């Protein structure tokens, strides 16, 4: 299957090096135009790159989940500026709770 992520993983840029299209006819996505001066990669090369991209993406699920739940960094900075150690300690504890909820795999 041809994917933008596979082509990006191979070092190509959408709209600069290629455009994709899906005609919704059941045949899936295809390269509508190959703009790069490099030889167009094979479908198998694109698929292999997609697998690499997906593996790397999946391995960072914990980080994406954490980012959504971390308290704002401004809370930490505000505590430092005010000299409010209780606020700083709360921020650190809240961050640790998120890390505990979404551990690295």
Q: Output the pLDDT for position 105.
A: 79
pTM above 0.85, yes or no: no
What is the number of H-type helices and E-type strands within the chain? 5, 2
Mean pLDDT of each 10-residue bin along the chain, 105 residues long: 97 98 95 97 97 97 97 96 97 97 92
Q: Output the pLDDT for position 30.
A: 96
Task: Quick: pLDDT tens for 21-51.
Answer: 999 999 999 999 999 999 999 999 999 999 9
* Residue in 7, 6, 36, 33 with CA at minimum distance from that of residue 20: 33
């Amino acid at each position: 299957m041809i994917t933008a992520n596979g082509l990006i993983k191979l070092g190509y840029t959408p709209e600069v090096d290629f455009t994709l299209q899906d005609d919704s006819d059941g045949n899936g996505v295809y390269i509508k135009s190959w703009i790069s001066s490099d030889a167009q990669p094979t479908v198998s090369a694109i698929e292999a790159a997609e697998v690499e991209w997906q593996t790397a993406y999946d391995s960072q699920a914990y980080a994406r989940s954490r980012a959504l739940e971390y308290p704002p960094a401004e809370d930490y900075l505000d505590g430092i500026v005010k000299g409010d150690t209780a606020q700083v300690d709360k921020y650190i504890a809240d961050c640790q709770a998120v890390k505990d909820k979404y551990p690295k795999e």
